[in-house]
Chains A and B, each alone.
Chain A
Amino acid sequence: ETGVTQSPTHLIKTRGQQVTLRCSSQSGHNTVSWYQQALGQGPQFIFQYYREEENGRGNFPPRFSGLQFPNYSSELNVNALELDDSALYLCASSLEIEGLGYTFGSGTRLTVV
């Protein structure tokens, strides 16, 4: 059973650019959530996808968007990058939307300069 895989592991972007982060969910999991973890903070919920539709969104602006594909993999897109977007972006998958347990990937470390 494979876990959650995220790519790339590290990324450096310039302010104003756009970025796409990718996540392959654990085998059999159909729900994917994205979290942002700034240094010294706990993860903050960005949004969740269930069966290819956004199902719940945190307090993040519209320039944060996502997709879920038929194979349940997912992408997080961030437009017009700002310095404060520098963080560890975590993807978590679960079996069904009410899943009591979440499997997190190792994250993508994004640095905006």
Chain B
Amino acid sequence: TQLLEQSPQFLSIQEGENLTVYCNSSSVFSSLQWYRQEPGEGPVLLVTVVTGGEVKKLKRLTFQFGDARKDSSLHITAAQTGDTGLYLCAGRGSTLGRLYFGRGTQLTVWP
């Protein structure tokens, strides 16, 4: 059973479109992180959100942490082919340092 559920599992869009990826849980996390992973590589940290209701922007990427710190979303504006990759959300649990990952959303952006 996954502690964090991500949706959609797969997303295939054209360059220039907008998209939102969701990360939901019934558990409360002290912080939540978003990573991007490319084939044959380890996940690369994009952002950490800590406060309920927090919104962080990273160029065309907008991350939001739910008020109850149980869910998060990632919104990409005007997607580019370079955004292609596996997007993973990870919540930090009660064991210091332990991250609970979702299964990821595989995003493919076509030219």
With A100-B48, A101-B48 known as contacts, the answer to whether A50 contacts B103 (CB < 8 A) is no
Query: In the complex, how many residues of chain B place their beta carbon closer than 8 angstroms to a beta carbon of chain A?
Result: 25
**Chain A 37-59: CB-based contact to B (< 8 A → 1; otherwise 0):** 00011111100101000011010
Chain B residue numbers with a CB within 8 Å of A41 are 103-104
Task: Select one of B41, B42, B45, B104 contacting A101, CB under 8 A.
Answer: B45
Instruction: Determine if B88 is an interface residue (Cβ-Cβ < 8 Å).
Output: yes
Q: Is the CB of A42 within 8 A of B45?
A: no
Q: Is the CB of A105 within 8 A of B42?
A: yes
> A residues touching B (Cβ–Cβ < 8 Å)?
4, 31, 33, 35, 40-45, 48, 50, 55-56, 58, 90, 92, 94, 97-107, 109
Known pairs A4-B42, A100-B31, A102-B99; list 11 more (Cβ under 8 Å). A41-B103, A43-B88, A43-B101, A44-B101, A45-B100, A92-B42, A98-B96, A100-B33, A101-B48, A103-B45, A104-B42
